[in-house]
Amino acid sequence: MKQKILIQVAPLLLAIVVGASSAHAQSITQGARAPRLSSSAWLTDRPTLKGKALLVEFFHSTNQECRERIDKLNQIAALYKESLNVVVVAREPQEQIAEMMLHEYQHFYVAIDEAGTIFKSFDVRYVPYSVLTNHRGVILWTGNSALLDQSTIDKFITTK
């Protein structure tokens, strides 16, 4: 009897798990609307998101690739300052990254996400990870930050 119930329930559970997983993954795929940046703490001013594209860079201060990317983020933010906001999201205590980020950032915004709310809403599984949206919040590109270079951004964003 237990085997019969398990056999009948297993496909239903699989469908629920796969369906939920697929629905969550679809929320951060190209062409979908990006989740909101709901950080309660900012090391910088909050960006004005209306009218500009957005590059969200997920970051951790102990990750060497993330740290090496800071100069590139400053360059991207400066180059596209009229059409793109760059936001670095860190999932660590403010005190842990404040000194480092406040000395190294020049043109981008820094959000603190200790609870991991933004990381979860964007389904971030590794860092560095980037999400590029247009000015309407539609996702244009997601993936490993090392693969996001100026030529890729140029395909989606035009400088003014």
Domains annotated on the chain, with CATH: 31-156 (3.40.30.10)
Amino acid at 69: R
The model's pLDDT over 142-159, given as tens digits with 9 standing for 90+, comes to 999 999 988 999 998 864
Lowest mean pLDDT, pick from 14-28, 51-65, 99-113? 14-28
Which of 59, 56, 60 is CA-nearest to residue 86? 56
Lowest mean pLDDT, pick from 17-31, 79-93, 95-109? 17-31
Instruction: Tell me what the mean pLDDT of segment 26-30 comes to.
Output: 70
pLDDT at residue 27, rounded to an integer: 52
> Is pLDDT of 126 > 60?
yes
**Helices marked H in 64-131 — which ranges?**
64-79, 94-104, 117-121
The residue among 26 and 46 whose pLDDT is bigger is 46
pTM of the model: 0.79
